[in-house]
């Protein structure tokens, strides 16, 4: 699904990612952990193709295709979804209408016609039922006055509707409360399948009590310095990052 080879990237001439290698297969959930400032959000942004991030070296492959040269929108259309840490408010645009537009934009980019209204309604109903989202929520103005939990619910709903191949959830700085964590985790657990993959970026082991990752990677100073299974996350929770820094001589 995703293969990253020797990725070096910089922001404002400052080198941040210094040789990332990562392979995520369909059906897998990978967690990326690491101390603040280690480059986790940068990695997410670079995979999603956000502007301002310069790839200096290396390749990002999505289903075997090099996507280095594609912009964020093109990557989104190919099935890369990055959660928003700071979602925008769009007064007067309902959650439903926003989703309809997003879906039809994606279809347009693929040369498809707009989704017929009845099909759209069916999709919205199906996904909102799966995620236990009520009708009232769907008619609310996008992100306007949303609580932290509601923002997360909206984000997960977007993910459900768009059915990404690769979902990247960057939860590091969002100060999730337990409700919001459960919403994200339930959503991810319900949406994951053998045909998609999820990369969860988190600073806290907590989230991984609910989303059980197949692999855990530790990012330190722009490099993945250790990989393991969910036990590694528990070890980090208990021991912090210092022992890893010593182990790798950082």
Where does this chain bind Mg ion (CB under 5 A)?
A: 36, 40-41, 172
Q: Does 42 bind ligand ADP (CB under 6 A)?
A: yes
State yes or no: residue 187 binds ligand ADP (CB under 6 A).
no
Contact with ligand ADP (CB under 6 A): which of 128, 158, 172, 202? Answer: 172
Helices (H), the chain: 40-48, 72-77, 95-109, 117-130, 135-138, 148-162, 178-191, 207-210, 230-239, 242-248
Q: Which stretch binds ligand ADP (CB under 6 A): 32-40, 78-86, 129-137, 235-243?
A: 32-40
Structure-token pair, residue 93 = 């645009």
Out of 15, 23, 37, 66, the only residue in the binding site for ligand ADP (CB under 6 A) is 37
Instruction: Out of 30, 40, 153, 226, point to the residue binding ligand ADP (CB under 6 A).
Output: 40
Number of residues in contact with ligand ADP under rule CB under 6 A? 14
Distance CA(180)–CA(221), nearest Å, equals 29
Q: How far is CA 71 from the centre of its chain?
A: 17
Partner interacting with residue 19 (select from ligand ADP, Mg ion, none; CB below 5-8 Å by kind): none
**Per rule CB under 6 A, is residue 82 in the interface with ligand ADP?**
no
**51 vs 65, which CB is nearer to ligand ADP?**
51
Q: Using CA atoms, how far apart are residues 245 and 31, in angstroms rounded to an integer?
A: 19
Cα 7 to its chain centre, rounded Å, is: 18
Residue 170 corresponds to which tokens in the numbers above? 């960057």
Give the side-chain half-sphere CA count within 13 A for 154.
Answer: 29
Kindly state the smallest distance separating residue 34's Cβ from ligand ADP, in Å: 6
Residues that bind ligand ADP (CB under 6 A): 11-12, 14, 16, 34, 36-42, 52, 172
């Amino acid at each position: 699904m995703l293969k990253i080879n020797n990725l070096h990237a910089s922001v404002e001439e400052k080198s941040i990612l210094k040789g990332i290698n990562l392979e995520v297969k369909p059906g897998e959930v990978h967690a990326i952990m690491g101390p603040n400032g280690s480059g986790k959000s940068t990695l997410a942004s670079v995979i999603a193709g956000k502007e301002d991030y310069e790839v200096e070296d290396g390749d990002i492959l999505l289903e075997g295709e090099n996507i280095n040269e594609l912009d964020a929108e093109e990557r989104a259309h190919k099935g890369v979804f990055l959660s928003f840490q700071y979602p925008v408010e769009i007064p007067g645009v309902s959650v439903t209408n926003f989703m309809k537009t997003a879906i039809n934009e994606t279809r347009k980019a693929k040369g498809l016609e707009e989704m017929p209204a009845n099909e759209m309604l069916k999709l919205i109903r199906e996904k909102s039922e799966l995620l236990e989202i009520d009708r009232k929520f769907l008619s609310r103005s996008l992100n306007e006055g949303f609580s932290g939990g509601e923002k997360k619910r909206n984000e997960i709903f977007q993910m459900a509707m768009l059915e990404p191949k690769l979902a990247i959830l960057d939860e590091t700085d969002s100060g999730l409360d337990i409700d919001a964590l459960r919403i994200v985790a339930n959503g991810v657990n319900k949406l994951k399948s053998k045909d998609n993959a999820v990369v969860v970026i988190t600073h806290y082991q907590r989230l991984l009590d609910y989303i059980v990752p197949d692999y855990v990677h530790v990012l330190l100073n722009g490099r993945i310095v250790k990989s393991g299974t969910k036990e590694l996350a528990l070890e980090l929770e208990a021991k912090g990052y210092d022992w890893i820094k010593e182990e790798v001589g950082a």
